[in-house]
Amino acid sequence: MKKEALSRRDALKFGALGAGLAVFGASNAFAAAPLEKDVKFDEEYDVIVIGTGFAGLAAAAKAAQRGNTVLIVEKMGRIGGNSAINGGAFAVPNNPDQKKHGIEDSAERFIADSLKAGLGINHVELLEVIAARAIDAFEFSRECGAEYKLGDKPSWFGGHSVPRTLVTSDMTGAGIIKPMTEFVEKLPRCKIYRRTKFDDFVLDAGGRVVGIMARTNYRFDSKLFSDDLENTTGEKKVYKAKKGVVLASGGFSADRIYRKLQNPQIPDNSDTTNHAGATAGAMLKAFQIGAFPVQVDWIQEGPWASPDERGFGVGPQLNQQGLFKYGIVVDVRNGKRFMNELADRKTRADAQYKILKEAPEAFPVALGTYNTFDKQILPLVEKGLATGVMKKYNTLDELAADRKIPVAALKESVAKFNEGVKKGVDEFGKPVASFNGECIDMKGPFYSTRTAPKPHHTMGGVKINTKAQVISALTNKPIPGLFAAGEVTGGTHGASRLGSCAVTDCLTFGMIAGENI
């Protein structure tokens, strides 16, 4: 492959940026980006989309359907980023399957659920758009070829007050990504450049986004500490976007530098449930040209993840729909419980971090018995055992010895928890009254996992309005020519996003960006 050493300094020089600085002065935010008059465009499109996830493809599909020429740039070799590895669960308020099964839902109900999880700091106007248009986004994805398991009662995800989640036929977000990719590529003069890294926005003299700088033949390198800062591969290109640019670059859960700046509890070597390319670089470029940052330090972490496997894995389901319910999680150092295993994600992750800060290797251990597992995840029990993420023991003594937990203390914790369940009162406020006495079955066998919080969804990002236009901190008005959608935007879900609402958010606002550009 051709390599061209392109340092950040070179990238800034490219396009004679010095001239821009001289004219606008260093205090001008968009002086940080190359100017149209200083660059030569290699190719020209109506619309350029950054990122091939749900948001990017939905934006591109809508824009292309309206007759625009569209270029989508994707820095990775794969299409779809997190969207392609996501579970394909799509919260759709007022969907046909709810009606079919007599489930009463409403936009207000959806918004109330989201606000409750989001601790009230959600940008409600964006939730209103999602609630109103989720059904359109669902139908649009079907128009593009996505298929869903329909007809049954919708799935009921945690925090939703009614079942409202529809799932793709293949139970992955790729069930939407693959057909949408084909849909876009079939439309005239629309293409996707993979291994093409967005480097910068190109602005005109008035501050309007009129194109992007990118590098083709880019090879993402997950061995680097920061791919964004260190990777110099690729050949530089400049692409013109006559109508504008849609930023749909996703979140930054895999960005070691930026996530730690926002939450210093996250160690550099922390795994994430995300794909390796989920970095902050593109979002930071939007901040550099003046986009308002919103709630970037709210990073949703999954307290149900396992340090014994990479990425999302099987641990989350074994814990969420298994050990965390009728079972308990203990601190391996003293055998004691330290949290309500069914509390919200942030409360639990913070409780885990309290331990991991004192002893980075003391991953809290979850344990339970067979009655713990929901029926639908029983097949995963075997997988968890086969891969070593979960272990099975005949007695608590065996478990304690293997997990290096003081055995007397562990037995005491189990006994105390079981008594609490029978009384209907838990010392950490777990809703045990609803368990009908179901708890850890002392005759065993006992199942156990190690747990670790992993960054899962970054709640913050750039500020958009209801038309998916990015709002400038310089003017409090839309930055001309710049739209954004999906996880790179902030505020919609407030402190914590409910499960299965990411697909809804990304597709809805992606579609809106494509409609408005």
Partner 1 sequence: MSGGKTLAIAGVFLVLGVMSLIGGESDSPLKPIVITPELKEEFPLKSHHAKLSFECTFCHVGQGDDPKEFTYIGDEGCLSCHQSKEHMAERLAFMDKLHVNPHNSIHDGPTLYCDECHNEHKPSTNMCTECHEHDIDLWMRPTP
Which range binds partner 1 by CB under 8 A, 74-82, 100-108, 335-343, 458-466?
Answer: 74-82
Whichever of 275 and 456 has its CB closer to partner 1, that residue is: 275
178 lines the binding site for partner 1 (CB under 8 A):
yes
CB of 447 to partner 1, least distance (A): 17
170 lines the binding site for partner 1 (CB under 8 A):
yes
Interface positions, 11-70, toward partner 1 (CB under 8 A): none
Which range binds partner 1 by CB under 8 A, 256-264, 289-297, 306-314, 427-435?
Answer: 306-314
207 lines the binding site for partner 1 (CB under 8 A):
no
- Residue 345 annotated among the catalytic residues of the structure: yes
Interface positions, 388-407, toward partner 1 (CB under 8 A): 388-389
Residue span 425-454 as binding mask against partner 1, x where in contact by CB under 8 A, dash where not: ------------------------------
1 lines the binding site for partner 1 (CB under 8 A):
yes
Tokens of residue 175, six digits: 């069930």
CB of 220 to partner 1, least distance (A): 10
Give the N- to C-terminal CA distance of the chain in Å, as an integer.
Answer: 36
235 lines the binding site for partner 1 (CB under 8 A):
no
Contact in structure between 390 and 318 (CB atoms under 8 Å):
yes
194 lines the binding site for partner 1 (CB under 8 A):
yes
Query: Which of 164, 337, 345, 403 is labelled catalytic?
Result: 345
Of 133, 152, 146, the C-alpha closest to 178 is: 146
Whichever of 214 and 314 has its CB closer to partner 1, that residue is: 314
For residue 435, give the amino acid letter.
F
**According to CB under 8 A, which one of 75, 123, 164, 195 is a site residue for partner 1?**
195
Q: Residue 25, exposed/middle/buried by CB under 10 A (0-12, 13-18, 19+)?
A: exposed
256: Cβ contacts below 8 Å, ≥ 6 apart:
225, 226, 268
Tokens of residue 303, six digits: 């307290």
Whichever of 164 and 275 has its CB closer to partner 1, that residue is: 275
CB of 236 to partner 1, least distance (A): 18
Separation in Å, CA 237 to CA 130, 146, 281: 35, 33, 18
Which range binds partner 1 by CB under 8 A, 78-86, 202-210, 280-288, 495-503?
Answer: 78-86
Of 276, 225, 270, the C-alpha closest to 454 is: 270
Of 233, 205, 187, 178, the C-alpha closest to 61 is: 187
Tokens of residue 367, six digits: 């344990």
Query: Rounded to whole angstroms, how far apart are CA atoms 249 and 282?
Result: 6
Point out which residues pair with 447 in neighbouring strands: 368, 392
5 lines the binding site for partner 1 (CB under 8 A):
no
3-class secondary structure, 255: coil
396-403 vs 407-423: helix crossing angle, rounded to 10: 130
Q: Which residues sit at the interface with partner 1, rule CB under 8 A?
A: 1-2, 77-80, 84-85, 170, 172, 174, 178, 181, 194-195, 275-276, 309-314, 383, 386-389
Which residues does the annotation mark as catalytic? 345
